Amino acid sequence: MERPQSEVWFQRAQQVILGGVNSPSRSYKSVGGGTPVVMVRGEGPYLYDVDGNRYIDYLAGYGPSILGHAHPAITRAIQEAAEDGVLYGTPTPYEVEFAEMLRAAIPDLERIRFVNSGTEAVMTTVRVARAYTGRTKVLKFAGCYHGHSDAMLVAAGSGPSSIGVPDSAGVTRNVASEIVTVPFNHRDALKQALAAHGPELAAVLVEPIVGNFGIVPPVDDRYLADVIDLAHEVGALVIFDEVITAFRFHYGSAAQLYGVHPDLYALGKIIGGGLPIGAYGGRRDIMEQVAPLGPAYQAGTMAGNPLSMRTGMACLRVLSDPRLYDEMARRAAVLVDAAESAARVNRIDIVVNRVGGAFTIYFGREPVRDYDAATRTDSRRFARFFHLLSDRGILIAPSKYEAWFVSVVHSDADIEETAEALEAVFRDLAR
């Protein structure tokens, strides 16, 4: 596949935009380099690059584009909202209706606030938890990504309960020392960390189904309930980061799939229908810490803007049909079967984690249940896999730590075309 115009645009981009990208994960650094494909248009399950090449899209904008591109319901909502003006700086009916819609889907959201990104949503839940408990530390799980606020960039310590070191320059040691990191899916590590830091912990923060070292579900059906019970025993609140998971696997939260009730939720991605959004919410008595009712401050010029509210509602209205989720899961299963049989035929070791319409193909033999296992998978093979797929018009994220997202608009024909591409790519990989 030829991409001369992508080259031209990426060269130009690097002269004005730092690194040529507005988010580091869009660069091809973790797939051995290369020029990122520069896209100009999306329609249904397809993206088209500046050279006119067509891609079947499983990147889905890193999750939000569950309705594919330019879905009529989304386009209509955006047009209608634009005609009414996009920002008032006052309360609107749209934010009320949308909050009601979210609470009807996820009743734990007794009170909600809209923000503009998942980063803001998580950052604020942490502030609220600290305000409510009067405590400072936060426990997170290694490899989970919770946006780029300072504290959340602390990824890992050397041992189960060790104090983190900042992974990003510019995050102070003081901030890093407030974060305790443990491996996901290991009850004993969590217990040890809670025993060591319990009385100082404001919150335990978790992606209930991990999406940031690939798709990694809880190790068993009790795990999340145990995380919640253990956290509550030491007086810490529990925050579920459902920025990826909410409305991804069914019309509601991942918490509901496991029958559990965290104290606070952070939401984003899908609920904006492709427009910038974040939201947080949860127990009313905890949320009442937030201004104007309480002493914890959070605000936003663009928060709850009519454009995002009306588009988000349009997206959720489409998703309220449960058959769509069954279809996404079925189509993802077809792709996983195709990948597994192609890998087997070509004697390539892969492990696949799939939940509903989302999955990750890891190159290795070992089951992936935590971040360390994900890091041990074969990065170089993944990089080749990524580029080979891209050359056959299949778009996935340029990182072994991301997921394939099937959308409601992938047809059986798209799935078949992708399955054929997978067969060919595994054949090439074996050469």
CB 250 within 8 A of CB 325: yes
Candidates 68-76, 140-148, 186-194, 360-368; binding stretch for ligand PLP (CB under 6 A): 140-148
Using CB under 6 A as the binding rule, whether residue 95 contacts ligand PLP is answered as: no
Using CB under 6 A as the binding rule, whether residue 146 contacts ligand PLP is answered as: yes
Q: Which is nearer to ligand PLP, 50 or 122 (CB)?
A: 122
246-282 burial, b at 16+ Cβ within 10 Å, e below that, comes to bbbbbbbbbbbbbebbbbbbbbbbbbbbbbbbbbbbb
Candidates 51-59, 204-212, 347-355, 368-376; binding stretch for ligand PLP (CB under 6 A): 204-212
Candidates 36-44, 142-150, 369-377, 413-421; binding stretch for ligand PLP (CB under 6 A): 142-150
Q: x/- string (CB under 6 A) for ligand PLP, residues 57-86?
A: -----x------------------------
Using CB under 6 A as the binding rule, whether residue 213 contacts ligand PLP is answered as: no
Using CB under 6 A as the binding rule, whether residue 143 contacts ligand PLP is answered as: no
CA 128/CA 285 separation, integer angstroms:
11
Active-site hit among 55, 58, 132, 145: 145
For the chain, how many helices (H) and strands (E)? 14, 14
User: Which listed residue (6, 27, 30, 119) binds ligand PLP by CB under 6 A?
Assistant: 119
Active site residue 251: no
Q: Angle at which helices 322-345 and 306-319 pack, to 10 degrees?
A: 70
Helices (H), 106-186: 118-133, 173-176
- Sequence-distant (≥ 6) Cβ neighbours of residue 315 within 8 angstroms: 66, 67, 73, 74, 270, 271, 272, 273, 274
- What is the smallest separation between the CB atom of 17 and ligand PLP, expressed in angstroms? 17
User: Which listed residue (36, 45, 143, 147) binds ligand PLP by CB under 6 A?
Assistant: 147
CA 159/CA 377 separation, integer angstroms:
21
Q: x/- string (CB under 6 A) for ligand PLP, residues 243-282?
A: xx-----------------------x---------x----
Say how many residues make up the chain.
Answer: 431
Active site residue 241: yes
- Sequence-distant (≥ 6) Cβ neighbours of residue 250 within 8 angstroms: 256, 257, 322, 325, 356
CA 147/CA 23 separation, integer angstroms:
12
Candidates 88-96, 114-122, 125-133, 417-425; binding stretch for ligand PLP (CB under 6 A): 114-122
DSSP codes, 227-262: HHHHHHHTT-EEEEE-TTTTTTSSSS-HHHHTT---
User: Which listed residue (212, 311, 360, 390) binds ligand PLP by CB under 6 A?
Assistant: 212
Segment holding 280, helix H or strand E: strand 278-282
Among 148, 208, 155, residue whose Cα is nearest residue 372:
155
Active site residue 265: no
- What is the smallest separation between the CB atom of 278 and ligand PLP, expressed in angstroms? 6
Candidates 75-83, 236-244, 330-338, 413-421; binding stretch for ligand PLP (CB under 6 A): 236-244
* Residues near ligand PLP (CB under 6 A): 62, 117-119, 122, 145-147, 207, 211-212, 241, 243-244, 268, 278
* Residues labelled catalytic: 145, 241, 269
